[in-house]
Amino acid sequence: MWKLLVVEDESIVRMGLKYMLDWEKQGIAWQAEAASGDQALDIIKQERIDIVLTDIQMPGMNGLELAKEINRLNQNIKIIFLSSYDSFAYAKEALRLGCIDYLHKPTMDEQELQQAFSKVVTMLEESHENKQPAVAPRDNSSLLRLLDSYTFPHDLSCLGPHMQELQNGFWLVNFRRRDDAVKEKESNSELRFISLKHLIEEYVMKTWGGLVFHREQREIIWLAPAKPKLDETSLDRAKYLEGIKQKMLELLNMIVMYSESRLFYDVNELPDAYMETLMKLPVNEQSDNFVARRAKEFIDAHLLEELNLSLVASRIHVSPSYLSRIFMREIGENFSDYMIRNKIEYAQRLLRESSMKVYEIAAAVGYMNPHYFSKLFKERTGMTPLDYRNR
């Protein structure tokens, strides 16, 4: 395992980075953390370190000065820089010092971080002739498909060993940060969200079990079995959720809100459970979210009909411009992209599970011109409908 040292003066950012990737699957051991350049140098002098991930802006010795000292001590250590500023001057100096990558914190995501470390691991493997298997990072996209009736998978293998316990009943909880809470720095937003997800997951796994996943940086979804993992008949659901809320406030100074579904007994009803949580989110705290979810519910119920933004807006009694703005912010994509994505995913399902002809499927999802449908399908999936069916 390649040993990693993370140098960042904010502890909440270090925590977010720690749980942003499954480091062991990358062939990397999270060896040590430092809050300053001086601490980092002390660690490097005492322990074997292969990779340093360091912020550039820190009190005292900054990341660039630290890199100079690292190069003086051990030129085999690979360095990746983090910065809150998209500065050409910083990037130029970082490249001069031989850094492997320069990541912009406000826009950095899991994929970008994983790619940077894959590059570093490849370089270390080549230089040390010690090949390690490359393993893809953890991905929760297959679990997200369970939340929408149009993308619900035929194969439920993504539930793994949890399938059996969920067949005895389950409930869904949707956690979100309060929109009216104090805003954190933009550069730390994603890392704080990852910290929140990790702590919720750690908390519920100890006593209740189930699965925890997320939708972008908006929602943390907990799919919980009907009965807790520990045999505690006194474990009250409402008190348990309030306990999670209080724990997040104590540990992360984050105000979270949540909504829960009733008990369900058929895993095929997961989309219904999810929609129930969305519609129960407190209206007085997130009215924009409530409107966006009402719109999503209407679209999902009428997806195969002829819909447009103005029609949906009129049905939920808001203006089209307002709906367009908050739909993008709350759902994570614009109205038309959401419609197209869901129609294409539903078409994929029909191609897999039915013998319908392509023109019939095109008509079924609202495209009377099969040539236009095929063109759109290829743009979205990289293959024609027939290629998709025959793959």
Domain boundaries, the chain: 2-128, 141-283, 339-390
Both tokens of 71, joined, read 């190069």
Do the domains spanning 141-283 and 339-390 agree at the CATH topology level? Answer: no
**Which DSSP helix (H) or strand (E) runs through 221?**
strand 219-225
- The full DSSP string for 160-209 is TTHHHHHTT-EEEEEEEE-TTSPPPPGGGHHHHHHHHHHHHHHHHHHHT-
Sheet holding 170-177, edge to edge: 211-215, 219-225, 170-177, 256-260
Contact call for residues 177 and 200 (beta carbons, < 8 A): no
Q: Which amino acid is at 166?
A: L
Return the pLDDT at 128: 64
User: Tens digit of pLDDT per residue, the chain (391 long)?
Assistant: 799 999 998 888 888 888 888 898 888 999 999 999 999 999 998 888 999 999 888 888 888 889 888 988 888 899 998 877 655 455 556 666 677 777 877 777 888 888 889 888 888 887 764 443 333 334 577 888 888 877 788 778 888 888 888 888 999 999 987 654 444 444 466 777 888 888 898 888 888 888 999 987 778 999 999 988 766 545 688 889 988 988 887 777 777 888 999 999 998 899 899 988 887 776 544 456 677 778 888 888 888 888 889 899 888 877 788 788 878 777 777 888 888 888 998 899 899 889 999 999 999 998 889 999 999 999 888 889 998 888 7
Topology of domain 339-390 in CATH is Arc Repressor Mutant, subunit A (1.10.10)
CB atoms within 10 A of CB 22: 13
Angstrom distance (rounded) from CA 361 to CA 347: 6
2-128: what fold?
Rossmann fold (3.40.50)
Task: Of 100, 142, 126, 113, give the one whose Cα is nearest residue 23.
Answer: 113
Count of residues for the chain?
391
Q: What is the dihedral of CA 144, 148, 151, 155, to 10 degrees?
A: 70
Nearest residue to 253 via CA among 194, 192, 203, 185: 192
Please give the Cα distance from 84 to 57 (Å, whole number): 8
CA atoms within 13 A on the CB side of 57: 11
First to last CA, the chain: 37
Q: What is this structure's pTM?
A: 0.48
Token reading at 201: 């997951």
What is the reported pLDDT for 135?
34
pLDDT at 181: 40
Residue bearing tokens 């679990």? 143
- Measured CA to CA, the distance from residue 50 to residue 289 in angstroms comes to 45
As to burial, measured by CB atoms within 10 angstroms (0-12 exposed, 13-18 middle, 19+ buried), residue 259 is middle
CATH, domain range 141-283: 3.30.70.270
Closest CA to 148 of 335, 328, 293, 361: 293
Are 225 and 169 spatial neighbours (Cβ–Cβ below 8 Å)? yes
What whole-number distance in Å separates Cα of residue 234 and Cα of residue 216? 34
